[in-house]
Amino acid sequence: MRSPYLWELEAKNANKAGKPATASSSIDNSCYNGSMPFDLKPLRIGPLEIEFPVVLAALASYSDLPYRLICRSLGAPYCATEAMLDRQILLDGKLRDRLVRIDAADHPIAGQLMGNDPTVMAQAAAVLRDMGFDVIDLNFACPVKKVVAKKRGGYLMDQPDLALEIVRAVIEAVPDRPVTLKLRRTFRETDETNAAFRRIARGAFEAGAAAVAVHARSVGQKYRGQADWDFIARVKREFPDRTIIGSGDIHTALDALRMIEQTGVDGVLAARGAIGNPWLFRQARDLAAGREPFKPDLKEQREVISRHLRLAEGLYGPRRGLLTLRNFGIHYARLHPHPAKVRTAFISVKTDEDWRAVMETWYGAPPLSPL
Ligand SMILES: Cc1cc2nc3c(=O)[nH]c(=O)nc-3n(C[C@H](O)[C@H](O)[C@H](O)COP(=O)(O)O)c2cc1C
């Protein structure tokens, strides 16, 4: 059903910029018309009912426990870990412990696995299940050269038989958990048939997969160029009774609702648009309810960034926690009225004092009182 609300938003954006709102740092409030709520259905993943369909994507170096908790506090109902190597999960080590850390407030949560050996993937899935992950997500999408060269991630888009062997082995190993897949549209940009996608998606659903997420770019495209939302719409038409989750070019909350409206998908992954803008989830809920989207002022930004730092220091320790937040700061800066200057300021942070100076100078944090 076409929502007049979104239609109007789109028309206003198209008039303003010559195209729909994309790539802006926050939601474009000027396109808000404040009238019609948008009727969104919960996202079903097997037995799980996720009450709001805009969720946090798996993001290497970003969708860690501290940031997931921040996003959840601002409305993200479901999150995924970054892709974790199956073999790493089977090793008892510090890196694994950091990657797999979840918290009582961090449910429902998908643990994402990457690998190419059905037996090892199945063993790793069982370990994640025993650790408390609610969903096992299989990554057949990662385009990073080193990963593809090692026949993992996006490489599996070129190997549908092996991909399906992995799916079946994992489903058999964790019959008590929903298993989902993250796929790319195709392996090679030149392949217009998307035959491998179809085979993997159909075979996975037949084997009992609970959902397929489609990043509508080819593996070869990596993160460049436009995601093909028409392809996502075709996938949903081909699997009308299955859970299909869309990914690609979700820069704002409005983009998330537009994708649902234009493609009919059951859910949307907020990825780059949510890095440094955890308010995207609250804004999506506002838009869906017909409310004016929340616009975080500097005080709100400061409070969330500071809470994020405390969570990161709690998990990683003071030094690594600060470096993690410096990395996020570069993205948080997008929402600041002086993004370029704030970005530069975050980049040069090396010590706690540097951090405090950035917060005082740019976010109006009160100076530390002398002892
Ligand atoms: C920095 C970064 C890290 C990512 N890490 C993962 C990952 O670990 N697993 C995964 O399935 N996708 C990963 N992705 C892909 C995103 O989840 C998403 O599908 C992709 O960025 C397309 O959405 P977008 O155009 O809205 O950013 C990553 C993307 C980025 C930019």
Could you give the CA distance from residue 98 to residue 94 in angstroms, rounded to a whole number? 6
Residue nearest to atom 10 of ligand 1 (CA): 58
- 92 and 188 together in one domain: yes
Token digits for 158?
Answer: 């070129």
% the chain with pLDDT above 70:
89
C-alpha of residue 357 to centroid of ligand 1, in Å? 32
C-alpha of residue 271 to centroid of ligand 1, in Å? 6
Q: Among 24, 54, 59, which residue has the most ligand 1 atoms within 8 Å of its CB, making it the best to mutate? A: 59
From 258, 289, 320, give the residue that closes a domain: 289
Question: 285: helix, coil or strand?
Answer: helix
Token digits for 336?
Answer: 């600041």
C-alpha of residue 86 to centroid of ligand 1, in Å? 19
pLDDT band for position 370 (cuts 50, 70, 90): low
112 lines ligand 1 (CB under 6 A): yes
From 266, 289, 312, give the residue that closes a domain: 289
- 280 and 305 together in one domain: no
Q: Is the pLDDT of residue 94 over 80?
A: yes
Confirm whether 370 is domain-assigned: no
Confirm whether 371 is domain-assigned: no
Range of the domain at 143: 7-18+22-289
Residue nearest to atom 28 of ligand 1 (CA): 59
- 50 and 125 together in one domain: yes
246 lines ligand 1 (CB under 6 A): no
Confirm whether 139 is domain-assigned: yes
- 230 and 339 together in one domain: no
- 305 and 162 together in one domain: no
234 lines ligand 1 (CB under 6 A): no
Q: Among 223, 263, 275, 280, which residue has the most ligand 1 atoms within 8 Å of its CB, making it the best to mutate? A: 223
Q: What is the pLDDT of residue 10?
A: 42
Residue nearest to atom 18 of ligand 1 (CA): 271
- 337 and 227 together in one domain: no
CA angle 104, 105, 106 (to 5 degrees): 90
Instruction: Say which CATH number the domain at 38 has.
Output: 3.20.20.70
Residue nearest to atom 4 of ligand 1 (CA): 59
Please give the model's pTM, rounded to 2 decimal places. 0.92
For the chain, helix, strand, coil in percent to 5 are 50, 15, 35
Residue 230: count other Cβ atoms within 10 Å of its Cβ. Answer: 11
Q: Is the pLDDT of residue 365 over 90?
A: no
Q: Is the pLDDT of residue 39 over 70?
A: yes
- 218 and 321 together in one domain: no
| Annotated catalytic residue 142 | yes
Angle, helices 253-263/279-289, rounded to nearest 10 degrees = 50
DSSP per residue, 299-367: HHHHHHHHHHHHHHHHHH-HHHHHHHHHHHHHHHGGGSSSHHHHHHHHHT--SHHHHHHHHHHHH-PPP
Write the pLDDT tens digit of every residue in 257-312.
999 999 999 999 999 999 999 999 999 999 999 999 999 999 999 999 999 999 99
- Number of domains the chain is built from: 2
